[in-house]
Amino acid sequence: MEKNEKCEPCPEGQVRKDGKCVMPEVTFTAFVMSLNTSALFHLGEISDPVTGEKQQNLILVKHTIDTLQLLEDKTKGNLTDEEQDIFKNVLYDLKMRYVAKVSQQSG
């Protein structure tokens, strides 16, 4: 990139690599983190990037947790130690946050 060339932000979902906007590399960890971000959004812990508002949809959170649980069962023995650690931590954290939100609503 030339010195005087302006560094424009990349379109949503893309990252800058070698001066160009590209989609991030597809990895198992990136996929798990994407599901985690989606669940956090539906838990109301991340604001909508367009409106700035927080929303809550616990049905979608539960569906994402169930999806992650299915993935954990189906990938058992096929992940690196790092992937397994990230996966277990994300799944545990989401389950605990979900239980806390459900408890708040019923109590």
Does some domain include residue 20?
no
- pLDDT given at position 3: 45
Does some domain include residue 72?
yes
Asked whether the whole model's pTM tops 0.95, one would answer: no
Residue 13 has pLDDT above 50, yes or no: yes
Query: Which regions of the chain does DSSP assign to beta strands (E)?
Result: 15-17, 20-22
Does some domain include residue 81?
yes
Does some domain include residue 96?
yes
Residue 94 has pLDDT above 60, yes or no: yes
C-alpha neighbours within 13 Å on the C-beta side of residue 7: 7
pLDDT tens for each residue of 34-88: 999 999 999 999 998 889 999 999 999 999 999 999 999 999 999 999 999 999 9
Residue 61 lies in domain: 27-106
Cα–Cα distance measured from residue 36 to residue 10, given in angstroms and rounded to the nearest whole number: 22
Residue 1 has pLDDT above 60, yes or no: no
C-alpha neighbours within 13 Å on the C-beta side of residue 55: 13
Of 2 and 11, the structure prediction assigns the larger pLDDT to: 11
Number of structural domains the chain divides into:
1
Structure tokens at 17: 């690599």
Does some domain include residue 70?
yes
Does some domain include residue 38?
yes
Do residues 56 and 101 make contact, with C-beta atoms less than 8 angstroms apart?
yes
